[in-house]
Amino acid sequence: MVTRWGYSDELGFVAYGDNNDEVFLGMSVQKNQNVSEATAQKIDAEVKRLVDEGYNEAKRILTEKAQEHKYLAEALLEYETLNGEEINAVMRGEKLRSPR
């Protein structure tokens, strides 16, 4: 995202490098370095910042919604399947009618 689509305020709307780093498709692990060391460090910092922000946001959401997750898990253990309306009710803390 940072090197191909400019997903960084720090680096701007510039694409760095090429698409020859497809490690998981059986290609070489070695990447061609088409940027200066200083730019590579900025790229690494931006990638780390984005990953850290994503992690922190996910952790915040999971922590804030912990009670709703508990309600949902308990309802799924009891009923096995829920439709959208039932999920919304459960997430609000409402009990479902037993015979469905």
State the residue range of the domain holding 26: 2-91
38 occurs within a structural domain = yes
Q: Mean per-residue pLDDT for 3-7?
A: 75
Residue-wise pLDDT tens digits, 43-70:
889 889 999 999 999 999 999 999 999 9
65 occurs within a structural domain = yes
Residue-wise pLDDT tens digits, 65-91:
999 999 999 999 999 999 999 999 999
Report the phi/psi class of residue 26: left, alpha or beta, with left for phi > 0 and alpha for psi in -120 to 50.
left
The number of distinct structural domains making up the chain is: 1
73 occurs within a structural domain = yes
Sign of CA dihedral 45, 50, 55, 59: positive
Q: How far apart are CA 24 and CA 98, in angstroms?
A: 48
99 occurs within a structural domain = no
36 occurs within a structural domain = yes
Examine the pLDDT at 92 and tell me if it is beyond 80: yes
Q: How far apart are CA 33 and CA 84, in angstroms?
A: 49
55 occurs within a structural domain = yes
Other CB atoms within 10 Å distance of the CB of residue 40: 16
Q: Mean per-residue pLDDT for 17-23?
A: 53
Instruction: Give 99's pLDDT tier (boundaries 50, 70, 90).
Output: low
